[in-house]
Chains A and B, each alone.
Chain A
Amino acid sequence: MGGYGDVQCIDENGIRLDGRTVGEIRPISIEVGVVPVADGSARMRWGLNDVIAAVYGPMEAHPRKIQRQDRAVLDVRYNMAPFSTTDRIRPGFNRRSREISKVTAEALESVVLTELYPRSKIRVEIEIICAEAGTRCAGITAASVALAHAGIPMSDMVVSVASGKVHDIVVCDLNKEEDNYGEADLPMGILPNSGELVFLQMDGDLSPEQFQEAWDYNMGAVSVIHEHMVAALKGGEA
């Protein structure tokens, strides 16, 4: 993890800068159909994160060399809008967004029934309009909802959430300060119906006990996030 500073992210009563307790996630809202020209789309607001995901396809896969005879390929792009962060981001792909696109594609390919659409392509576009921390998790979650909204058959949706450590205390769903000044970050992609994983990353420093605690926080957050996803698809609020 990056910065070290004297920012106090948790007070003596265990209350975080944004008023949450250590095990609490940020407020979430999800709506579908936000990109009217797409086959499926979703917008997820998670804390200050504002993420739009759109799905196009299944469609013809071109160039030909990317086609797979036995399944569809997922063409996933994660991108941060230039005005999504405090310092402007220069437009265009960078190493970070390429890696996130890759692991996101692999997470989603694990649940999409790609064998139903041989030789085709499904495009998944994830745009971060406003970033707070945890944009990759919000991106994967929003993309799952957009895929479902597009009617793409899946074995399950993916709920993605990160927990981590700040001032040697394990907390659920890191905010910006905790991400900047914290000591560890553990994002996971979990299938709500089976508890299986399709996405896992970690960086920082966690003891075995802390690791377990962070893991359990992520697992514990799945059902409430999943409720929001289902409610959005059913056309209501969770």
Chain B
Amino acid sequence: MGIPLVPKLLRAHLAELAENDSRHDGRGRFEGRDLELEIDCLERAEGSARVRMGDTIVYAGVKFQIMTPYPDRPNEGGLMCSAEVRPVAGRGWEPGPPSPESIELGRVVDRGIRESGCINVEELCLIPGEKAWQVILDLFAISDDGNLFDAFALAGIAALKSAVLPAERYEIGEDRPLGVAKTPVMCSYHKVGGRFVYDADKREELGGDERIHITLGDDDHVHSLQKGLKGIFTAAEFDEIMVEARSKCAELRSLLDQKLAGE
């Protein structure tokens, strides 16, 4: 992404709003934008989801490949997660090799999913040391109006949960669900006008400071954290958003479960 021109006026405006405890679109501090979640929406993917948060729209697609297990883990398959923010998603995203921003996006989402242990990599092994399934989760942004992290993470876990191993196509038995035992969910908080807000949009990202991404699994276990961008925050601030994240993640998890049950 090119260097965003941060208008001082925008920063001043957001700071003024913060003083009155309001946001430029009228949301409360910890209120998210309208959320749409669609599962199994891509015909060619083995698992897929589309998430819309306000004007941010992303897709996630799961594909499978056959891999040779790593020598130090002969009984395990693999999980690969990559995020792409192509220039389609906004004026600021340039063509070319993946930017540091999109690499960070992919890696933070990857850690949350991987470390939650939601995928049993041993079950992906077909012949120890020789053949295993590799799960590839591709995250793809169509429209970036801020907070791609949470949109990617939600689309990612939803796509994995809907994924079916295409064993018949590879002539190694019957197709079966990937089987994703846990539901890691991410919540991101941006410092805007001196206080943290949930689900920042593009303007708040441009006129804000540091951001913190929290991925919580079932039972509120913490699976990934990331502080991004320049800024200083206190332990008390972190405590406050952690409490918020617990209830928000639980809310998103039950929404996802509902959608999956309805499919």
The answer to whether A88 touches B138, judged by C-beta atoms less than 8 angstroms apart, is: yes
A54-B88, A77-B87, A125-B87 are contacts. A85–B44 as well, Cβ < 8 Å? yes
The answer to whether B84 touches A37, judged by C-beta atoms less than 8 angstroms apart, is: no
Question: How far does the Cβ of B218 sit from chain A's closest Cβ, in whole Å?
Answer: 27
Give Cα distance in the complex from A88 to B57, angstroms. Answer: 22
The answer to whether A130 touches B42, judged by C-beta atoms less than 8 angstroms apart, is: yes
Beyond A82-B82, A86-B169, 16 additional pairs, beta carbon < 8 A: A34-B57, A34-B142, A34-B143, A35-B143, A37-B143, A79-B86, A82-B138, A83-B42, A83-B44, A83-B138, A84-B42, A88-B63, A92-B97, A123-B87, A125-B88, A130-B42
Residues in A30-58 with C-beta less than 8 Å from chain B: 34-38, 48, 50, 52, 54, 56
The answer to whether B142 touches A48, judged by C-beta atoms less than 8 angstroms apart, is: no
Q: Tell me whether A185 is interfacial, beta carbon within 8 Å.
A: no
Q: Tell me whether B189 is interfacial, beta carbon within 8 Å.
A: no
The answer to whether A83 touches B48, judged by C-beta atoms less than 8 angstroms apart, is: yes
Interface string of A179-209 (1 = CB under 8 A from B): 0000000000000000000000000000000
A81-B138, A125-B88 are contacts. A36–B44 as well, Cβ < 8 Å? no
The answer to whether A52 touches B82, judged by C-beta atoms less than 8 angstroms apart, is: no
Interface string of B87-126 (1 = CB under 8 A from A): 1111100010110000000000000000000000000000
Q: How many residues from B make CB contacts under 8 Å with A?
A: 32
Give Cα distance in the complex from A92 to B98, angstroms. Answer: 9
Q: Tell me whether B205 is interfacial, beta carbon within 8 Å.
A: no
The answer to whether B43 touches A130, judged by C-beta atoms less than 8 angstroms apart, is: yes
Q: Tell me whether B256 is interfacial, beta carbon within 8 Å.
A: no
Interface residues of B (CB under 8 A from A): 42-45, 48, 55, 57, 59, 61-63, 65, 82, 84, 86-91, 95, 97-98, 136, 138, 140, 142-145, 169, 202
Can you sample 9 A-B contacts with CB below 8 Å?
A: A34-B143, A37-B202, A52-B88, A81-B140, A82-B61, A88-B65, A92-B97, A127-B88, A130-B45
Question: How far does the Cβ of B147 sit from chain A's closest Cβ, in whole Å?
Answer: 13
Residues in A61-82 with C-beta less than 8 Å from chain B: 77, 79, 81-82
